[in-house]
Chains A and B, each alone.
Chain A
Amino acid sequence: MNPFGKKRKLRPWCPDFKQNEGLPDIKVVRTGFLINFVIIVIGLILITVTIYRETVAAAAQASLRQFEQQREELEPENRRILELNRSFIEARPVLGEVQRFSAVPFYVDELLHAIGETKPEAISIEHISYQVQPVQTRRDTRRRHVVQLRARARTIPEPINEFKNALADLPILAELGAEIRDTNPERTAGGTFSFSLRIEVVLTEP
């Protein structure tokens, strides 16, 4: 008869009399395999990451070589375009000037000539100038074309009024909607009258 039960290991001359009652349970939960498992998982992750990074790097290298080849192929064309661009940049101010000049809807010399032709006999022009001034508005860019004229008259006011009316009737100025303003005539030491005229045309830039 074995009063210890079948579960106890039987060792000759070494019966175990242990009483389980009152003893703390210190059954060890084996966790060693978890450490192996974690190490294997970390290893697999590292290998996967390394392979992925190597693949991405290889693909990037291939793309780089391809782009390098493309760059070499396109370089002469690019150089030609750059040369063209530089020429264009150099020519651009001239072109702008030409554009601006060609955008003026009248010939300044013709206008000045017409003004001279329109002048009555009693008026002599002392000075005439032409200026273009930019006028910036919110919506667009405009240019103010100003013809400034200083003259003398033997009498007043008929010759001056006649001159103003004749200018207003000029077809070129009438089409452009020119504004004509004069200053009060002043008597000079020689007995003549000095006055100024300002012809102003505001045009929108194309």
Chain B
Amino acid sequence: MLKKKRVGLFCDVSDHRLTLLRTTSWANPHEIEALVEIPLFTSDDPLTEVRRFAGTSDAHIPIRVSGRPANRFVEPYHVENFQKIRQPGQIEKVLAQKTRAKPEDLQWVCLHTGSGLPFTPEESIIRTLLYCGAPKAAIREVQDLLVSLTLVPQSFELSTLSTAVELARWVGGTEKPLPVLVAEIGQRQTFSMVISERGVHLSRMFPLGTETLVKRLQSEMGLRNEEAARRMLISKTLSFEDIGERLLGEIFRELTAFSSSFEVETGETIGYCLFPGLPEHFRWMEAILKTRLGIPPLEPSPGDILEPNGIEDPAGLLTIENMDAWLPIAGMIRGLGNTA
């Protein structure tokens, strides 16, 4: 019987761009067919681009999503009192302290870092737990954006968590494991974390993003309003070689303070850095920050990450340049073939 081919569709969505990835099927082995980056603010018609890529004009296109909702958290918790953490409500109490939000407003999970599964008090205690999640409203906001583009999430994972897991695996497999500084620069927030082979070591969200740059650009250029500065920032006409450093000053200072605190606390030196979620027209930020921070960029061989995850890329579409987008998707694909 003739059967319509069901391709696998995955996406990584940030504040600035949507990266779509198409595989030959939803099942193993996952062979990469195509990958496209759609900037959310500079694309003329993202809906048409999405439909063209998905190869369908259906009103609802199922997709597996990896996103970066606002106020997300991927935060390690070092257990000090094993008896106390087993007490009912203690997990929620810690969550409330860490996030300063009501647990019922959050979609969250406390992962056992040994198994990667949700921690239960009956489980054997491990020294570090990992709180992950985001406000439900922020997740819905991302989902609504996707639905407006006819994409209907079948699952929603945190790109931040997937990236951390995949990087920890990769770092653990290198000859000389060095920590990685990851900074996800959003519109109004930047989520930074340090990943070692043991997982997420430290994380922090600070309220600086590309909108900060807009305000700075407005004052630097003497522009009348923010909209003009915003348009100038996303335009490809302006060279940010000179002005870029000044625009990124605040973010740079925060990242320096964050990475320094890690290095002081652990005595380890950060070996690599990665800035996921930036679209093509913001790649200059990545270049400037790498240079100023003095941290070499992360340059793994894509095959080292793809192969263990059961992903085949015969066309070589997944490169180091777009790694920040496919890394969380690779984590999703690995999870599909390893359902507990």
Q: A residues touching B (Cβ–Cβ < 8 Å)?
A: 1-4, 9-19, 21-24, 26, 32, 35-36, 39
Give min CB distance, A134 to chain B, whole Å.
Answer: 84
Among B28-36, B47-55, B128-136, which stretch is in contact with chain A? B128-136
Give min CB distance, A32 to chain B, whole Å.
Answer: 7
Complex contact A10–B118 (CB within 8 A): yes
Complex contact A4–B118 (CB within 8 A): yes
Complex contact B116–A19 (CB within 8 A): no
Complex contact A19–B143 (CB within 8 A): yes
Interface residues of B in 134-191 (CB under 8 A from A): 134, 136, 139-140, 143-144, 147, 152-158, 161-162, 165
CB-CB under 8 A for A1 and B121, given A11-B335, A12-B335, A19-B136 = yes
Considering the complex, give the chain A residue whose CB is closest to the CB of B139.
Answer: A19
Q: Does B119 contact A (CB under 8 A)?
A: yes
Q: B residues touching A (Cβ–Cβ < 8 Å)?
A: 1, 3, 59-60, 62, 65, 91, 103, 107-111, 115-121, 132-134, 136, 139-140, 143-144, 147, 152-158, 161-162, 165, 331-332, 334-336, 338-340
Complex contact A12–B91 (CB within 8 A): no
Q: Which residues of B contact A32 (CB under 8 A)?
A: 1, 3
How many A-B pairs have beta carbons closer than 8 Å: the answer is 97
Considering the complex, give the chain A residue whose CB is closest to the CB of B107.
Answer: A17
Interface centre among A9, A14, A23 (most CB of B within 10 A): A14
Considering the complex, give the chain B residue whose CB is closest to the CB of A16.
Answer: B155
- The dominant DSSP class at the A interface is loop
Q: Which residues of B contact A23 (CB under 8 A)?
A: 143, 147, 152-153
Considering the complex, give the chain A residue whose CB is closest to the CB of B134.
Answer: A17
Give min CB distance, B164 to chain A, whole Å.
Answer: 9
Complex contact B118–A15 (CB within 8 A): yes
State A13–B330 Cα separation when bound (angstroms).
Answer: 12
State A60–B338 Cα separation when bound (angstroms).
Answer: 67
State A18–B139 Cα separation when bound (angstroms).
Answer: 7
Considering the complex, give the chain B residue whose CB is closest to the CB of A12.
Answer: B116
Complex contact B118–A1 (CB within 8 A): yes
Considering the complex, give the chain B residue whose CB is closest to the CB of A21.
Answer: B140
Give the residue of A13, A19, A22 whose beta carbon is less than 8 angstroms from that of B161. A13
Complex contact B60–A22 (CB within 8 A): no
CB-CB under 8 A for A12 and B143, given A17-B133, A23-B153 = no
The 8 closest A-B pairs by CB, nearest first: A14-B335, A12-B116, A13-B116, A18-B156, A11-B335, A2-B118, A26-B60, A15-B109
State A199–B59 Cα separation when bound (angstroms).
Answer: 111
